[in-house]
Amino acid sequence: MATDAGHPGRPNEDFAGAVAAGLVLVDGAGGVPGADQVCRHGVAWYANRLGGALLGGLSAQRSLREVLAEGIVQVTDVHRDTCDVTHPSSPHAAVAMLRFSDDLVEHLVLGDAVVVVGRASGAPVVAHDPREVVIARSFERRLVGVAAGSEEYRRLLRELRGHRNKPGGFWVAKDDPQVVAEAVTGNHPAGEVTLAALLSNGASRLVDTFGLTDWAGLLRLLDHGPAEVIRQVRQAEDRHGVATDDATVICRSRAL
């Protein structure tokens, strides 16, 4: 596992953890204007609380969707009485999960995190949800030339957030457990899996933003450790003049 904060002066809002039953990654959505006025805890707190709840639920005899739904309810109940949990600016996050058993490797993705499962034969299986990226890119084009902090800038961001957790929009973990119906799930025979990895979108950009390798190449890169993936992401960001983001990779090989 490796992680690196992308914003000086701001806490790392990614969470990653492992237990014998599997792996969890929670990519908190930070930088939302006004978030501190609707929730006193913050995005990093939400990501860590949700991540801990999900790790605790992996060994239960429930589907990964059920584990995520229970985790969302558990964390929301903790701050429901002190914070405006339904407000569009309240903390939310993308989630990726892997669960291991003797027979299966199961995965779940909600939001723009990524699961990559390497197989003994054939190309890796990549689980991701492109809906947020597609919608966000349309807003990025509209934001070109708009002064940051201006009323128009804030209006466009509010409009973008209005697509969250709605039909035709994109889906993240927040306060409503019903979003788990939109999660991407799947499973693989355990004997075929050689390596499985979870990546926040700050780390997956090595492939899906910069195109410096493909998913099979990223798995090969993990032979040098997950920190190497993040190191190459930071180099690419510097070359392209792209703003950094929190970047996290957690992986497990069959040998482990």
Integer Cα distance of 216 and 126 in angstroms: 10
Structure tokens at 214: 């493909």
Q: Are strands 114-119 and 22-28 parallel, antiparallel or unpaired?
A: unpaired
Q: What is the pLDDT of residues 189-237, one digit of tens each?
A: 999 999 999 999 999 999 999 999 999 999 999 999 999 999 999 999 9
Classify residue 56 by burial, with Cβ atoms within 10 Å: 0-12, 13-18, 19+: middle
pLDDT of 6 reads 92
**Contact, 96 vs 198, CB < 8 A?**
yes
Q: Convert the pLDDT of each residue in 40-69 to its tens digit.
A: 899 999 999 999 999 999 998 899 999 999
Can you tell me the mean pLDDT for 101-120?
A: 95
Can you tell me the distance from the alpha carbon of 102 to that of 168, in angstroms, rounded to the nearest whole number? Answer: 38
- Beta-carbon contacts of 184 under 8 Å, excluding residues fewer than 6 positions away, are 107, 108, 109, 110, 127, 128, 129
Side-chain-side CA neighbours of 191 within 13 Å: the count stands at 1
Rounded to whole angstroms, what are the CA distances from 202 to 82, 169, 235? 31, 21, 13
Q: At 31, is the pLDDT very low, low, confident or very high (cuts 50, 70, 90)?
A: low
Question: Class of 2-125+172-253 per CATH?
Answer: alpha beta
pTM assigned to the model: 0.92
- The encoded tokens of residue 18 equal 């492992």
> Phi and psi for 207 in degrees, rounded to 5?
-100, -55
